[in-house]
Amino acid sequence: MNGKKMKIASFNVNSLRARLPIVTNWLVENQPDVLCVQETKVQDHDFPGQAFDEINYKYVFKGQKIYNGVAIFSKEKPENVRYGFDKEPKDEPRLITAQIHGVTIVNTYVPQGNMPESEQFEYKLNWFDRLLNFFDSHFEPTDFIIWVGDLNIAPEPIDVYDPVSLLVHVCFHPDVHKALQKVMNWGLVDVFRKHCKEAGQYSFWDYRMRNTFKNNLGWRLDHIMATKPLADKSSACYIDKKPRQAERPSDHTPVIAEFDL
Amino acid sequence: MNGKKMKIASFNVNSLRARLPIVTNWLVENQPDVLCVQETKVQDHDFPGQAFDEINYKYVFKGQKIYNGVAIFSKEKPENVRYGFDKEPKDEPRLITAQIHGVTIVNTYVPQGNMPESEQFEYKLNWFDRLLNFFDSHFEPTDFIIWVGDLNIAPEPIDVYDPVSLLVHVCFHPDVHKALQKVMNWGLVDVFRKHCKEAGQYSFWDYRMRNTFKNNLGWRLDHIMATKPLADKSSACYIDKKPRQAERPSDHTPVIAEFDL
DNA sequence: GCTATCGGGG
DNA sequence: CCCCGATAGC
């Protein structure tokens, strides 16, 4: 027991540069210890670090052109930073790991999967297996591990607006559910579901359909998973819909967990 | 003498849709009888007429994809509207003529000319000749004719920030000065210069150089020319720099003339 | 710089 | 619907 309170958030920003004031304002207002972001869509040489220097956040990141990209912002300097998987394809712009306050943060942007029966879908299913392998080779389920990010999966029927028709969707497909379950069985707890059993708690609303946010036609794709010892210390977990009501919002919105360590 | 006061303005908006609130707010605040705009960059089926209906302005326009486009906004319905030249190439998105309160308004977006010795430069020089021909065949120098718009020429050395180095520029080239002079000799007066002899009175500042507006490194390219009888009735002519200080301003700013008819 | 368009991606 | 990047004109 060291009595440290820790606030950890995840946010798919859909371009860090396009959403820069949204992200920095959100950090200033919410003061999380850690913010993991996905889909930064910025190459490393263009990373807008200065904006975060100015608000006293440290950061580590890995990006590429146009697609993907992950970053961790934190008040304390991230330690033991690891980029991507151990083996090829390393997928560095999709997986970044760091230690902060003795907690291991695993920030992932899981491949979306395109269509069932596509090559990309196979790659996605395999990705969960590779992540399980990554956990197995580096950590113990008794460690303080937190796995966050856009996992591109709605785990349960209450996590999508139409659980019947969406069974054919790559983010709510039975095969993906099985793949996730295998990872969870390693020793992880869905921290949001521990604190909130309500249906219709979403973190993503598709731009391409009209009025999805207004009518709450969404998906819970952004998650905070923790090993049991860490989940036991969580005191709250919630979705902040405010950033999705901004002028030009991301299609995702942040999820936040609080811990008493 | 009918005692009518008339306020006529010209504004290259660099996309009417991108600048819509700037233009409508400017109309509401300044209440001109006529506003001629250039570079609307909007096709006719996308013209944002509703915004002008709401503030009780009538309008006529001709546009195309991406480039060019002219429009006239006025309190009274424009009459005897004519689009483009009589002969091909008609250049409809560059020339629109209408009668308002007995004054013939000729709103032009003169071709920029690219580089000296280019085909486009020849086309530009020729454009002034074709316009002179247009005046000759439709009007008399004794009529109330006003020729306004982005003429893509700074007439005098005091109309550019560097009259020596810019002599090679297509908007300050001796050949263009000659071409303009021929049109003016038909019977036109530079209404702005009649009222203001000051140097450094610009209506355009290039986006591509830094701090051109702050350092007043500009050009007077937007003009209000009038036949002598009409110019004699002008009471004021000035440039309004406020719209260029907006959030996302056009590179041009309005020129306004007032008449006592 | 600031438009706009187009094509690729989600 | 909204991102990016490329291209073209001024």
The CA radius of gyration of chain A, in Å to the nearest whole number, is 17
- Give me the pLDDT at residue B2, please: 73
Q: Is the pLDDT of residue B222 over 70?
A: yes
Inter-residue contact A78 to A36 (CB < 8 Å) = no
pLDDT 10s digits, B107-155: 999 999 999 999 999 999 999 999 999 999 999 999 999 999 999 999 9
- Give me the pLDDT at residue B164, please: 96
Confidence of residue A232 (pLDDT cuts 50, 70, 90): very high
Inter-residue contact A125 to A28 (CB < 8 Å) = no
Closest nucleotide relative to residue B207's CA, C1' based = C1
Nucleotides of D under 7 A from a protein CB: 1-5, 9-10
Q: Considering the candidates A57, A59, A109, A202, report the single residue annotated as catalytic.
A: A109
CA B19 and chain centroid, separation: 17
- Give me the pLDDT at residue B22, please: 96
Closest nucleotide relative to residue B209's CA, C1' based = C1
- Give me the pLDDT at residue A2, please: 73
Residue A67 has φ and ψ, to the nearest 5°, of: -110, 160
Alpha helices by DSSP H, chain A: 20-30, 49-53, 119-138, 174-184, 191-195, 228-231
The pLDDT of A137-164, averaged and rounded, is: 98
**CA-to-CA separations, A103 to A7, A229, A254, B111, in angstroms, rounded:** 12, 11, 20, 64
pLDDT 10s digits, B56-89: 999 999 999 999 999 999 999 999 999 999 999 9
Which pair of tokens denotes residue A142? Answer: 């008794």
The pLDDT of A98-113, averaged and rounded, is: 97
Rounded Cα gap, residues B15 and B40, in angstroms:
5
- Give me the pLDDT at residue B74, please: 98
- Give me the pLDDT at residue B3, please: 86
Rounded Cα gap, residues B20 and A209, in angstroms:
27
- Closest residue by Cα to the C1' atom of nucleotide D5? A66
Nucleotides of C under 7 A from a protein CB: 1-6, 8-10
The pLDDT of A54-58, averaged and rounded, is: 98
Mean model confidence pLDDT for chain B? 97
Q: Is the pLDDT of residue A61 over 80?
A: yes
What are residue B226's DSSP bridge partners? B146, B189
- Give me the pLDDT at residue A3, please: 86
Taking CB atoms within 8 Å and a gap of at least 24, the contacts of B172-175 are B172/B219, B173/B113, B173/B116, B173/B121, B175/B116, B175/B121, B175/B125
Three-class secondary structure of residue A239 per DSSP: strand
pLDDT 10s digits, B89-113: 999 999 999 999 999 999 999 999 9
- Classify the C-alpha dihedral B242-B243-B245-B250 as positive or negative: negative
Catalytic sites of B, residue numbers: 109, 150
Confidence of residue B1 (pLDDT cuts 50, 70, 90): low
Rounded Cα gap, residues B92 and B78, in angstroms:
17
Nucleic strand D under 7 Å from the C-beta of A248: yes
Q: State the SS3 of chain B.
A: CCCCEEEEEEEECCCCCCCHHHHHHHHHHHCCCEEEEECCCCCHHHCCHHHHHCCCCEEEEECCCCCCCEEEEECCCCEEEEECCCCCCCCHHHEEEEEECCEEEEEEECCCCCCCCCHHHHHHHHHHHHHHHHHHHHCCCCCCEEEEEECCCCCCHHHECCCCHHHHCCCCCHHHHHHHHHHHCCCEEEHHHHHCCCCCCCCEECCCCCCCCCCCCEECCEEEEEEHHHHCCEEEEEECCHHHHCCCCCCECCEEEEEEC
- Give me the pLDDT at residue A1, please: 57
Closest nucleotide relative to residue A251's CA, C1' based = D2
CA B251 and chain centroid, separation: 14
Name all protein residues with C-beta less than 7 A from any atom of nucleic acid chain C: A 66-67, 112, 114, 120, 207-208; B 14-15, 17-18, 41, 43, 65-66, 207-208, 210, 248, 251
The pLDDT of B177-187, averaged and rounded, is: 98
Rounded Cα gap, residues B230 and B157, in angstroms:
26
Which amino acid, B143?
Answer: D
